[in-house]
Chains A and B, each alone.
Chain A
């Protein structure tokens, strides 16, 4: 019996959202008379922090403090349509919807500020909740006063709506070929896995994962890290523990009770090294791309490659359970040559021909 260590890596690319066409997210924003901002959007926050990220996007687009902005995603009746939190689309698609809405609100704020200050809207900018004349910082009016003036002097509810929608594919009448705009937010990731494989029990331990994610722009790096760490463990689960067949929508893979579906536990936690790369997209909010679902894609392949590096056998079905690993090792140990059964086992064979375990005899 021996424990073998191995290292493998995998790379992935991930197009954000449903990357062909449609897939809308809608948002609308209104300004209260005191300058505070209400955002209504349907993006579901299941703990990944979309609410925080959307709030940041709106605050930064408008130029007001984060605390002034409240996002309400509490019901799908008052909010616009959002097709959901899946396919890593929250920040790119949902975030673009709130950004477009905020850009319209910003235009209205500047327009009314321009009337109040009697300065061309193009010569104004907004920062820290104040509309300021470029190059003349003493000419200013707070966003709160603009909102008050809109409400009480101009009879306007400052608001804006935004929808992020992929352009539709063009289908050629002649040959039926489909033209789809290349996706603007492809994220990339690489994962290196270090494993130890026990060739007697077939047990695989992941000791370390080094993961690099290109997320375009990390609008909230702590939340990005949360996705990468959570994704790492989900990927590890898919590689080693979780029997996910037959696929959704069948629920059979879950088994009859809790303990029959294995999810990674604390003991499985390897050392994690995470690197966030910023390689901005051209049209995501502030250059952001994706991180949610893609975060568990690279590990299974990297781990399978590491197992191969460790014991020289490919496990071709996930999860790489001890049984599958042992079968793969066994299949490798019994090659058939010209109809003859030839067994070569590194340890047994080498110690049979050499008193020192084969040192200096053969390099494998």
Chain B
């Protein structure tokens, strides 16, 4: 059958129940989607299927049909990055990078869907099924918010990042302003 990957029609011959992840990585050598848990729990294998984030480890080839598959390779290219890719780069939102492809695609879909600034809760909601072991998520959330505002560089985002503290302020004596 033919598979539409990043705007290019590619011939594939894997058996119909092979996971899309397997087909992309092993047959087509598209390596940005990552094998994590292979049971839908980590988000590392996420790709866009007709613009919607899907876990490619759980998606059999037969179910893809002629849908458009987008991976990070189709999101942008060096020198012509998608806003979410630039924001991840500018804000150091990737450390080991294993979760990054999935995060980028889910975030890209969120930004496309919203068409304007997304707030913290929306990011948390859209990325909640994606596990990151390195970054503590902080810079990822900030990068997605910045990308949705078309903000480049690493300047603070013009909106409080976190809800107001419910607890009394802790004074840190002599801390840098």
Residues of A within 8 A of B (CB): 5, 7, 46-49, 192, 194, 207-208, 210, 212, 222-223, 225-226, 228-234, 257-259, 263, 265-267, 269, 271-273, 275-276
Contact = CB atoms under 8 A, between A and B. Distances in A.
Contacts of A275: 172, 175-176
Contact of A222 (B41, B92, B131, B163): B92
Task: Determine which residue in A48, A257, A271, A272 has the highest number of CB atoms from chain B within 10 A of its CB, and name it.
Answer: A271
Given A212-B172, A226-B139, A271 B41 contact: no
A299 to B, nearest CB: 11
Contacts of A263: 131, 133
Contact of A192 (B127, B166, B170): B170
Contacts of A208: 165, 167
B9 interface: no
A223 B39 CA distance: 32
Interface size on B, as a range, is 35 or more
Given A47-B94, A208-B167, A263-B133, A269 B138 contact: yes
28 contacts: A5-B166, A5-B167, A47-B95, A47-B134, A48-B95, A192-B170, A194-B167, A222-B92, A222-B154, A223-B92, A226-B95, A226-B135, A229-B138, A229-B139, A230-B135, A230-B136, A234-B133, A257-B37, A258-B38, A259-B37, A259-B41, A265-B131, A266-B127, A269-B136, A271-B165, A275-B172, A275-B176, A276-B176
A229 B42 CA distance: 20
A258 B39 contact: yes
B42 to A, nearest CB: 7
Given A259-B39, A263-B131, A266-B124, 12 more contacts: A46-B96, A48-B95, A207-B165, A207-B166, A208-B165, A222-B92, A226-B95, A230-B95, A258-B41, A265-B129, A266-B128, A269-B136
Closest 4 CB pairs of A and B: A47-B95, A258-B37, A229-B136, A47-B96
Interface of B: 36-39, 41-42, 92, 94-97, 124, 127-131, 133-139, 141, 154, 162-163, 165-167, 170, 172, 175-176
A210 to B, nearest CB: 5
Contacts of B36: 258
A292 to B, nearest CB: 11
A110 B95 CA distance: 37
Given A232-B136, A258-B37, A269-B137, A46 B170 contact: no
B172 A210 contact: yes
Contacts of B131: 263, 265
Contacts of B163: 271
Nearest to A257: B39
A277 to B, nearest CB: 8
Contacts of B41: 258-259
A257 B41 CA distance: 10
Nearest to B94: A47
A306 to B, nearest CB: 11
Task: Determine which residue in B39, B128, B172 has the highest number of CB atoms from chain A within 10 A of its CB, and name it.
Answer: B172
B70 to A, nearest CB: 23
Task: Determine which residue in B37, B41, B92 has the highest number of CB atoms from chain A within 10 A of its CB, and name it.
Answer: B92
Nearest to B154: A222
Contacts of A225: 139
Nearest to A232: B136
Contacts of B127: 266
A46 B166 contact: no
A263 B94 CA distance: 18
Given A210-B170, A266-B127, A266-B128, A233 B137 contact: yes
